[in-house]
Amino acid sequence: MEKRTTHSTQFSMLFYKSMSIILTVVLLALGAQVWAQELSLYDDKLTDVFELGYPGASKGDFQFSKTYTPTDSEWFVSDYFSDSLVFDAQLKFDSKKNASSSYQMRIGKGGQVYSFRGSFGESVPPQWRNGESKLAKNGGGPAYAPWVDDVWQMVATDNQLNDAKSGRKYFIHQAGVYLKTPEQTHPFYSPQLAAYYDAEKEQYTTINWGLQAHTDDNERTGYTSRLLYYTRYTNKGDGIIQVDCMLYNFGSDTLNHLNVPWGGVRESSLQHLFISNPKQGFEMVQAQFGEGKSIKTRDTGGWVAFSSDAAGDAPALGLVYPVDESRLPDIMRYGTAGSVKNRDYHVFSIIKRVGNSLTSGKSMTFRYFFVVGNSVDEIKEKTDRYNLSAYSTPQPGKRKESDIKKLSYVIVDGQVRVSTDSKAVITLYSQPVQGAMPVFYIQSKEGKGQITSNPNYYSSKPFDGKTKSLKLLGFSNKGLNQSVN
């Protein structure tokens, strides 16, 4: 007798088969999420490289969030890109005593400050660039620098390899890369390798692999990057944010021009720059950036401030830095970026010259403070009252091998997993001891996995999509290179 399958039976079979596939996909996705969360269990140890610093002022209502919400800030690139593409985290402080001490700071995926709002409005410049004809070949067109240049970040250069006239540009941006080749159609930010939020201390730390920003020139030069950027943002209360920075060079290049920080403000919000002097006063200055205007930090009082009022009697944003007395003092550069329509940018940068250069296998640690207030006088008062300039010189983090925690991993079913017993097959340092190589777990877009000290393992172009994910596992004296699956 012929066996017949009814439409109802066929439907049931298809239904259960479809549900099985959906359930499998969901379980795999949940498994991947749990696995990713497990690898992040060590992030608190990987990011623990800074000393405490300033103990803090009176605190108000502080909020931290990893959830994106729109802001009122106009970036002039909304026809091209939304700032949701760059968003990583938000730090928000609502002062209960002084409304002008409140702020909202947004951290980008590259660890950069891409939005900083206070009583003065949005202080980070718009991201539009002019439509020169040469930009027609760029993937981003006139929006080719979305939150990768006119932001607060670190930038490192090897002056021996940087020659703009011949098209050999060497600039390792903390933020990310320009959209300067036709294949680039979306922003790409320096990969985040680890991140950790400490709710008790109200601080957020991120580790990023800084990238060579000029992607068009890199095609000719073959420049890559072997630089890690560590950044910690800590709410200290009373409108004060402590920013701790560390650079670790695991490559062979000598980085002898370090901008910590590189940044500036939106002139339409904070038009006037005031520089302190050693006599406890301050004065307004004006300049065009790039016309030789610079000053040694030791010739100042250790802080600058921006305000919309020529007398400084309006909400202000200050930046406090160490007054360097070394033989090669830090250099401060400033000035209006130019006449490009809607760029609206007053540049401010401190060139760090401590030790003159960052050589292979070494790190450098820096600190500065942002301060918000209702006037430049209040910025000065807070800086003096809390002695912030003195706290701007950090102590190096733990570097002796005996003091550094060890991280253990195993490989199970083609995945790198955190090890909690004696079965560890990989043991790494949580911090970069001198000369150590970082060890990454990299996954390709095809799902292959590699434990390696070469972040370019799958591609020399980090932005081309061949690398799906990049995670810092720790540091090894010899580096590692091992296939996972």
DSSP string, 85-144: GTEEEEEEEE-SS-GGG-EEEEEETTS-EEEEEETTEE-SPP------GGGGGSTTGGG-
Q: Which of 367, 391, 415 is a domain's end point?
A: 391
22 in a structural domain: no
DSSP collapsed to 3 states, 323-339: CCCCCCCCEEEEEECCC
Tell me how far apart the alpha carbons of residues 451 and 467 are, in angstroms, rounded to a whole number: 13
Separation in Å, CA 423 to CA 404, 411, 419:
21, 10, 7
How far does CA 126 lie from the centroid of its chain? 18
Separation in Å, CA 103 to CA 73, 93, 100, 387:
14, 5, 8, 21
Q: Which positions ≥6 away from 59 have C-beta within 8 Å?
A: 202, 235, 236, 237, 238
How far does CA 380 lie from the centroid of its chain? 28
Q: Which of 336, 361, 391 is a domain's end point?
A: 391
Tell me how far apart the alpha carbons of residues 122 and 115 are, in angstroms, rounded to a whole number: 7
> Do 250 and 281 share a domain, yes or no?
yes
How far does CA 440 lie from the centroid of its chain? 18
Assigned token pair, 268: 């339409």
Burial of 212 (0-12, 13-18, 19+ CB in 10 A): buried
**What was the pLDDT predicted at 32?**
47
56 in a structural domain: no
> Do 373 and 431 share a domain, yes or no?
no
**189-204 b/e (C-beta count within 10 Å ≥ 16 → b):** bbbbbbbbbeeeebbb
51 in a structural domain: no
94 in a structural domain: yes
> Do 377 and 418 share a domain, yes or no?
no
Report the length, in residues, of the chain: 485
Token look-up 């890369």 returns: 177
> Do 387 and 407 share a domain, yes or no?
no
> Do 250 and 381 share a domain, yes or no?
yes
Pairing status of strand 345-352 against strand 331-336: antiparallel
Please name which of 143, 70, 114, 179 lies closest in space to residue 343, comparing C-alpha atoms.
Answer: 143
Q: How do the residues of the chain divide into helix, strand and coil, expressed in percent and rounded to 5?
A: 20, 35, 45
> Do 123 and 233 share a domain, yes or no?
yes
Positions in the chain whose pLDDT score sits under 70: 1-37, 57-60, 131-137, 339-342, 354-356, 395-399, 422
**What was the pLDDT predicted at 41?**
87
194 in a structural domain: yes
> Do 370 and 423 share a domain, yes or no?
no
77 — alpha (psi -120 to 50), left (phi > 0) or beta? alpha
274 touches 284 (CB < 8 A): yes
**What was the pLDDT predicted at 225?**
97
54 in a structural domain: no
**379-407 b/e (C-beta count within 10 Å ≥ 16 → b):** bbebbeebebbebbebeebbeeeeebeeb
**What was the pLDDT predicted at 60?**
67
> Do 198 and 156 share a domain, yes or no?
yes
> Do 185 and 328 share a domain, yes or no?
yes
Neighbouring-strand partners of residue 317:
306, 372
**What was the pLDDT predicted at 342?**
61
Q: Which of 344, 359, 391 is a domain's end point?
A: 391
363 in a structural domain: yes
CATH number of the domain residue 331 falls in: 2.70.98.10
> Do 296 and 234 share a domain, yes or no?
yes
Q: How many domains does the chain have?
A: 2
> Do 408 and 376 share a domain, yes or no?
no
Phi then psi dihedrals of residue 466, to 5 deg: -70, -25
Please name which of 11, 7, 207, 257 lies closest in space to residue 107, comparing C-alpha atoms.
Answer: 207
3-state secondary structure of 451: strand
**What was the pLDDT predicted at 255?**
95
**What was the pLDDT predicted at 22?**
46
Phi then psi dihedrals of residue 39, to 5 deg: -65, -25
Burial of 310 (0-12, 13-18, 19+ CB in 10 A): exposed
7 in a structural domain: no
Residue 452, domain extent: 401-483
**What was the pLDDT predicted at 24?**
42
pTM: 0.90
> Do 272 and 385 share a domain, yes or no?
yes
**What was the pLDDT predicted at 356?**
67
Tell me how far apart the alpha carbons of residues 294 and 1 are, in angstroms, rounded to a whole number: 96
